[in-house]
Structure formats: structure tokens, C-alpha cells
Amino acid sequence: MKWLDTLPLGLLIVAAIFLGLAPFFPEPHIVEKVRMLMNGTLHRPIDIFDLFLHALPIVLLLLKLLRMAVTAGK
């Protein structure tokens, strides 16, 4: 996961905030798509792609923070 180490933390934070939570009003897309996933109504390919697109920066940020915590303990 060396590629994850090369990603700047600041860039991931900005991407997670802006892409992960866009649009801010009336509610973030990721909230809507997760709600659709929980209700079993996430069927259309565009909705699945939208969930992936908005969740990716958040997942990458969490993975980087986890990796930083694990490697700092060594």
C-alpha cells in the first residue's frame, strides 16, 4: 500500500470534505445514497457509481489514517 503513503493527507481531507459531502444542501449525496442502500432501493447503475464516487475520498482518508496509526506504533 505504498501508493497510499504517497497521497498527501491534506488533499485527502479536502477531497473527503468537498467531494464526499457535495452537494451540501439540501443533503449530501452520500447520505441519500446510503439511505437508498439501507432501504434496498439502490438499483440504478448511476446511483451505485454516485455512491462509489462520493464515498471513495472518505474511504481513502480512513485507510490512510489507519495506516498512519499502525505504522506509528512500530
Q: Mean pLDDT per 10-residue run, the chain (74 residues)? A: 90 91 84 93 93 93 95 82
How does 1-15 read in b/e, with b if 16+ C-beta sit within 10 Å? eeeeeeeeeeebeeb
Looking at residue 9, what is its pLDDT? 95
pLDDT in tens, 37-55: 999 999 999 999 999 999 9
What are the structural domain ranges in the chain? 9-66
Task: Find out whether 64 and 4 touch, Cβ atoms under 8 Å.
Answer: yes
